[in-house]
Each structure stands twice: as structure tokens, then as C-alpha cells.
Homo-oligomer: A and B are copies of this chain.
Amino acid sequence: MQRIEVSLGTRSYPILIGPGAMQADEELDRAIPAKDVLVITNTTVGPLYAAKLVQALAPRRCLEVVLPDGEVHKTFANISRVLDVLVANRFARDACVIALGGGVVGDMAGFAAACYQRGIAFVQVPTTLLAQVDSSVGGKTGVNHPGGKNLIGAFHQPAAVFADTDTLATLPDRELRAGLAEVIKYGLIIDRPFFDWLEGHAAALLARDTAALTHAIKRSCEIKAGIVARDEREQGERALLNLGHTFGHAIESATNYSTWLHGEAVGAGMMLAADMSQRLGWVSAADVERVERVLKLFGLRTDVKTLPAATIAENMKIDKKVAAGRVRLVLLKAIGKSLITGDYEDAALRETLRARCG
């Protein structure tokens, strides 16, 4: 079992990575002193892993909420439903909410825990690659609004993250690839050697080679833990983790969160960010081609021709990273080096969208 620490003073917590992580009794006992536990899962993951987790949590009182699966269900109304269960069962401040599932389940469970009695403990048991390398770490929780993704939420750090690699066995190929988009992101923003390693291990990762996946998850979590420890509330550096996300959210919003997976949209978004960075003269055409080639190597979508440029441009404006009316973007200075800036020529953005979108 691999162990990484997210250093946040009194709110520090471990990330445990490996096969059987969700059954690591000692670590579970340390992370979950609560006697009352509410497991939030969904209709896909629940039937596969809830029984195993609940068994590991015995003799605690364990209740379950099974949400419908999918980003469209990440709503304020469903948070209300979870809160109703907590109230109806008289969960006290010392209870714990556990997220068993992907990013949607984790975001919702975390936000419900943040709101209940002004904040109770929660633990992440991510079962998708994307959640294991990204969304389960760092304390961002929340729901979507018809007007934009993740517009409602809270910063609420988990008490621990149990990334059980056994759960990846049942992950659909498409979701595996979407998770790998976020892994590629870490290489692009800050770690060129990792990006090189990923390019060289695409086949092993797609074949779900355990050692390769474990390394990819561990390195991703290390990078994210470091950034979160230095900038928990996204006042600066943490925004680098949003590479591809402003473009990606606009893609997801334009398609009503239904035809692109989040990781897929981020993948295409990174390609657009690379393209725009080249138009600003910051990276070479060869770098852009390499980014696109690696994304394709991992089976990720890069074609956004079906999406109208005007819609994408409009959707980008409601993104949370707007400051003083200006959309701040994460762009590349090189492969493995990024920056967040509102200081760019609008023409570069327009040209990227005109060239790549419909």
C-alpha cells in the first residue's frame, strides 16, 4: 500500500493507494472514529462495492444513500435529499459521510458533509481513476447549476482518501481513458519527465497494468497534494490544476453534461489551451502536435468541430475563474510548465476557437 500525506496542519490527511485499500482496517479505524456512518454511492458502484465497504466498516451503524449515476444528477436537489437522510436518522456532529464512487459522488458527499451541522467529517473512497488521481484529493466539493458547472459548493477536506486500485477492474475503458486525461494534465502543468513517462507507458496503462497504474496514481496524487498544501484555497498556484478545465467546462455545458465525460472534455480543453499557447508564441507547433498525439495515443477525443465556437466562447465567461470581467486561463509555457493569466490577446483565443471548433 502506498501512502501520501496532504499537509494542511490540523487538517492533514492520508491518501492510501493500492489493492484492497478500502478494507485496510487499521487505517479505516484511524480515519473514521465515528460510530454512525452514511455511505453515499450510486446505482453503478453500489452493487459492486458497497457490501465490501460496509463489511469493513462494521460494527459501525452504516446507512446508505444510492444516487442515480451521472453528472446530470449532481444537483442541489440531491444534496437536499442526502441532508434529509442525515436529519431523519439523527446523525450527530461526530458522524461521518463516506463517498463510494467517482467524482460526482465524491463532490456531492463532500458538499453534503460540509453543509450538515456546518460541517461533519467525510472520507473519500474513489472508485474511478479520475476520482483517484484528482477529484477525491484537495477538498473541492459541490454541485452543478443549470448556469454552469460546480458553481455551488464548499472547500471541505476529507479525513482520508482510500484509493482502492482493485475497483479499477470494473471501470469501463472510456472512463479509464477519461481519468488518464487528468493524469496527463499533471505532466503538462508541472512535470515533463512524468509526461515523457506517460507517453512511453500508454499501452501498459490502457492495458491496466497494475504497476503502471499504481505509479500513475501515486505520482498524480503527490503532485496534487503538494500544490494543495501550498495553496489550499486556490489563491494562486492551485489554479494550474485547472489546465483544460475552462475550455472543458464550456464543452460540457454546451453538450448539457451528457455526451462528453469530464475527463474527455478536459483532454480536449488541454489541446485547445496548447493551441492557444502556440498562437501567443509561447510553445512550438511541435509541442502542440505532441500534446494532441499523446491525447490520441490514450484514445482521447480532440475533435471539437461539432461545437460552435460562439457557444464555447460564451460558456467560458461564466467560469469561476473570471476576475474583473476577464476570463483567466491556464496556458502552457512549455510541456511541463504552465501559468494562469488573464493577460493574453483575445485574438489568440478567438483564433483557437475558430480554427478548432465549428
Q: Chain A residues in contact with chain B, CB under 8 A?
A: 35, 76, 80, 83-84, 87-88, 90, 92-94, 114-119, 140-142, 145-148, 150-155, 317-318, 320-325
Contact = CB atoms under 8 A, between A and B. Distances in A.
The A interface, classified by DSSP as helix, strand, loop or mixed, is: mixed
Nearest to A321: B93
12 contacts: A76-B76, A76-B80, A76-B83, A87-B145, A87-B147, A88-B147, A92-B320, A93-B321, A116-B151, A117-B151, A118-B140, A118-B155
Given A147-B88, A323-B93, A323-B94, A152 B116 contact: yes
A251 to B, nearest CB: 19
Contact of A322 (B93, B116, B153, B317): B93
A107 to B, nearest CB: 11
Contacts of A88: 147
Nearest to A141: B118
The 3 A-B residue pairs with the shortest CB-CB distance, nearest first, are A87-B147, A92-B322, A118-B153
Nearest to A77: B80
Given A76-B76, A83-B151, A115-B142, 12 more contacts: A83-B145, A87-B145, A87-B147, A93-B320, A93-B322, A93-B323, A114-B154, A117-B151, A118-B150, A118-B154, A118-B155, A154-B154
Contacts of A93: 320-323
A147 B150 CA distance: 28
B83 A117 contact: no
A59 to B, nearest CB: 15
Given A76-B83, A83-B145, A140-B118, A90 B318 contact: yes
Contacts of A140: 118
Contacts of A321: 93
A151 to B, nearest CB: 6
Contacts of A114: 154
